[in-house]
Chains A and B, each alone.
Chain A
Amino acid sequence: MGGVGVATSDRPINLFRNMTAKVAAIPMILTVLFVFVGGTVWTVTYSFTSSKLLPKLKFVGLDQYERLWSTNRWIISIENLFIYGICSLIFSFVIGFVLAALMDQKIRFENTFRTIILYPFALSFIVTGLVWQWILNPEFGVQNIVRSLGWTGFVFDPLYNADIVIYGILIAGLWQGTGLIMVLMLAGLRGIDEDVWKAARVDGIPAWKTYLFIVIPMMRPVFVTTLVIIASGIVRVYDLVVAQTSGGPGIASEVPAKYVYDYMFQSQNLGQGFAASTMMLLAVAIVVIPWAYLEFGGRKRG
């Protein structure tokens, strides 16, 4: 709220300044209050009840949470989310940035390449998941092709091996998502003033050093936006798993969002689903609140 100095003696009350803007914001404020905050409070409240198919206010304390954390499937879900999250974060950033940097070398047909790389993002997760289910299927996909080329001992069946199945899902996720990250990064790179590059060149700084020590620090806002987009994608990963493995083999590729859905709608145990979704919210809050504090709390000092 930068004060656009209304430097008159009869200064209007703060509340009525920018009246139209405030009126316009009312629907959004109401939405936030009732849908987001209200829905969250409702969910957390009912996670302490024994609600089954229909929500009922019969409180059972922390029972749902105790059960949740003693359930093998939930533990595996959390581990998978952790592996998927860390890998997805690192690879999205690295691949996205490298692609963007390459794209930024004033290459020919940049538009074409950009479109090709961004294109997977136009596909839904369900389609992506099905496509990669076929590609990774040992009988039709990569393994079969390599074997037919002569390497008959070649084994590549991530979706059928419980130990590495989550990486099979990661591959599909990265294929779908890195295009967008690349475009965001490219926009960031284009936002860097040409003069910075000229100055660096005059000083004889090699290009990789310019990227690492000058350009990347200047791209901080873009990185923050990208981080939020990737992180939200990680927490809600669901459809990809459903399309590729539906949680299998066994329960090796279960994820928290799928746990929530299955318990709320298939097992008809709302309380358990709410407890699980509250834990997901808590996990997000633990990451977001310190970050928001640093990001927005810090700005006042500057």
Chain B
Amino acid sequence: MRSLGILLGATALVAATSAGATELEVTHWWTSGGEAAAVSELAKAFNASGDVWVDGAIAGSGGVARPIMISRIIGGDPMGATQFNHGRQAEELVEAGLMQDLTDVADAQGWKDIIHPSSLLEACTLDGKIYCAPVNIHSWQWLWLSNAAFEKAGVAVPTNWDEFVAAAPALEAQGIIPLAVGQQSWQTSGAFNVLMVSLAGKDIFLQVYDEKNAEVAAGPDVARVFKAADDARKMSAKSSVQDWNQATNLVITGQAGGQIMGDWAQGEFQVANQVAGEDYTCLPGLGVNEIISTGGDAFYFPKLNDAEKTEAQKRLAALLVTPEVQVGFNLKKGSLPIRGDVDLAAANDCMKKGLDILAKGNVIPDPNQLMSPDSIGQINDLFVEFFNDASITPEDAQARFAEIVGNAD
């Protein structure tokens, strides 16, 4: 292991000295059409500033890319910068001293004052030092509805979760799947978290995910959420697609009534030339509690031995937060900017709803920021099982959920 590390380090050194001094390799997992367009905005801006962006896209989702990134950093072959979801994914790397401290950049630019909501910066902070540059906000709490599907079923487009559940029989009578859910495990647990914050409220959500209070997790408020999850399970019984965008496609084509999915689903509607309000409806917070979580992406900068590269890293970190880059990047990505003082006039209806909620401060941290990947993995396992096996009662599932919460760190 050690000698391998030295070997890899040596090859990296050779590569580094032969290349230009201010080339930075940036790894990320943004490979779909809209995502790639957004990344190229970052690359353009960095190249324009005089440095060279070497793109290191890793195909597959974060689950595939993260182990590769981590093993490169641990193995002594660090890249110039890398994407992670801000939160606890890189926590141990920071603790092990493998990440560049960005505090001086943050102080110079006054990140503390411009980054909104402040929880984004807190997720980058460890022991008072800042280790990552947040680039966008993605929120989960959206219900996407197909107007055509409800028209066909002869019911009004729902304005909240309860109306949606009530409309399910009418949809089913027309052969429409009421709720599209992909089979990947993060989708089911994500949908559950949305139900939790929307139906039980912010306080309960924080008590469960932030304070890890097992009693609350086993209590009556969360029991109601499990009841709703049971409804969702019944409504999605006929949905057998795998990927989230396939599920979104069912909504776009009117084969499904709706989908609970993050705002990245919006890109799919845009690609299909659908117009918010006319062809589809978006309900933040399921139309019950208008609240959004502030997960998203951030760039981390592994420590390098090359002083010039370190300077380039800091220049990139500073660049990512500037208003121009924020606007260019987030419009393409369909996500929200990390600062409230930029003008997003070109944003569509749903994005504007999101910006509005953000401005009001109705935000919660993402579970990724509160729980370790290990606990998140256990919750994913629980919900993918729950959604696929109708023999698990909501009560059993809740008991197991409470146990995971009780043991979480």
A80 to chain B, nearest CB (A): 14
Name B93's closest neighbour in chain A (CB-CB).
A53
Flag if A272 contacts B374 (CB, 8 Å).
yes
Flag if A162 contacts B74 (CB, 8 Å).
no
Name B374's closest neighbour in chain A (CB-CB).
A269
Considering only residues 6-47 of chain B, those with a C-beta below 8 Å from chain A are none
B61 to chain A, nearest CB (A): 10
A118 to chain B, nearest CB (A): 32
Cβ-neighbour of B373 out of A251, A252, A268 (below 8 A): A268
Given A54-B74, A267-B374, A269-B374: 17 more A-B contacts, CB < 8 Å: A52-B372, A71-B378, A72-B381, A72-B400, A73-B385, A162-B389, A248-B384, A248-B388, A249-B388, A250-B385, A251-B388, A262-B377, A263-B374, A266-B67, A266-B373, A266-B377, A269-B377
B contact residues around A252 at 8 Å (CB): 388-389
Interface footprint category on B? 20 to 34
A contact residues around B184 at 8 Å (CB): 246
Name A268's closest neighbour in chain B (CB-CB).
B373
Known: A53-B93, A54-B74, A54-B96. A72 touches B385 (CB 8 A): yes
Interface footprint category on A? 20 to 34
Considering only residues 133-160 of chain A, those with a C-beta below 8 Å from chain B are 160
A145 to B356, alpha carbons, bound, how many Å?
53
A262 to B374, alpha carbons, bound, how many Å?
10
Interface pairs (15), CB distance under 8 Å: A52-B92, A52-B372, A53-B70, A54-B93, A54-B96, A72-B381, A249-B388, A251-B384, A252-B389, A265-B70, A266-B66, A267-B374, A267-B378, A268-B89, A268-B374
A268 to B92, alpha carbons, bound, how many Å?
10
Flag if B388 contacts A250 (CB, 8 Å).
yes
B63 an interface residue at 8 Å Cβ cutoff? yes
B376 an interface residue at 8 Å Cβ cutoff? yes
A contact residues around B183 at 8 Å (CB): 248-249
A291 to B100, alpha carbons, bound, how many Å?
54
For chains A and B in complex, what number of residue pairs have CB atoms within 8 angstroms? 66
Cβ-neighbour of A160 out of B67, B92, B93, B240 (below 8 A): B240
Flag if B92 contacts A250 (CB, 8 Å).
no
Considering only residues 365-409 of chain B, those with a C-beta below 8 Å from chain A are 372-374, 376-378, 381, 384-385, 387-389, 400, 407
A117 to chain B, nearest CB (A): 32
Name A251's closest neighbour in chain B (CB-CB).
B385
B164 to chain A, nearest CB (A): 24
B contact residues around A246 at 8 Å (CB): 184, 242
Name B376's closest neighbour in chain A (CB-CB).
A267
Considering only residues 20-71 of chain A, those with a C-beta below 8 Å from chain B are 52-54, 67, 71
For the complex of A and B, list the 3 residue pairs with the smallest distance between their C-beta atoms, beginning with the closest.
A250-B388, A267-B377, A265-B67
B contact residues around A262 at 8 Å (CB): 377
Cβ-neighbour of A54 out of B89, B92, B377, B385 (below 8 A): B92
Name B388's closest neighbour in chain A (CB-CB).
A250
A267 to B184, alpha carbons, bound, how many Å?
15
B contact residues around A272 at 8 Å (CB): 374
Cβ-neighbour of B389 out of A52, A250, A268 (below 8 A): A250
Most buried by A among B89, B91, B388: B388
Write out, one digit per residue, whether chain A residues 258-288 have a CB within 8 A of any chain B CB (1) or not (0): 0000110111110010000000000000000
B contact residues around A266 at 8 Å (CB): 63, 66-67, 373, 377
B339 to chain A, nearest CB (A): 30
B243 to chain A, nearest CB (A): 11
Considering only residues 64-114 of chain A, those with a C-beta below 8 Å from chain B are 67, 71-73
Write out, one digit per residue, whether chain B residues 51-66 have a CB within 8 A of any chain A CB (1) or not (0): 0000000000001001
A73 to B376, alpha carbons, bound, how many Å?
15
Flag if B70 contacts A251 (CB, 8 Å).
no
A contact residues around B89 at 8 Å (CB): 268
A226 to chain B, nearest CB (A): 35
B contact residues around A248 at 8 Å (CB): 183, 242, 384, 388
A72 to B391, alpha carbons, bound, how many Å?
14
A263 to B63, alpha carbons, bound, how many Å?
11
A142 to B400, alpha carbons, bound, how many Å?
39
Name B89's closest neighbour in chain A (CB-CB).
A268
B312 to chain A, nearest CB (A): 27
B contact residues around A67 at 8 Å (CB): 407
Name B386's closest neighbour in chain A (CB-CB).
A250
A72 to B400, alpha carbons, bound, how many Å?
10
B contact residues around A265 at 8 Å (CB): 66-67, 70
Name B95's closest neighbour in chain A (CB-CB).
A54
A53 to B84, alpha carbons, bound, how many Å?
14
A271 to B305, alpha carbons, bound, how many Å?
31
Name A157's closest neighbour in chain B (CB-CB).
B240
Name B403's closest neighbour in chain A (CB-CB).
A70
Name A271's closest neighbour in chain B (CB-CB).
B374
Known: A52-B92, A73-B381, A249-B183. A268 touches B388 (CB 8 A): no
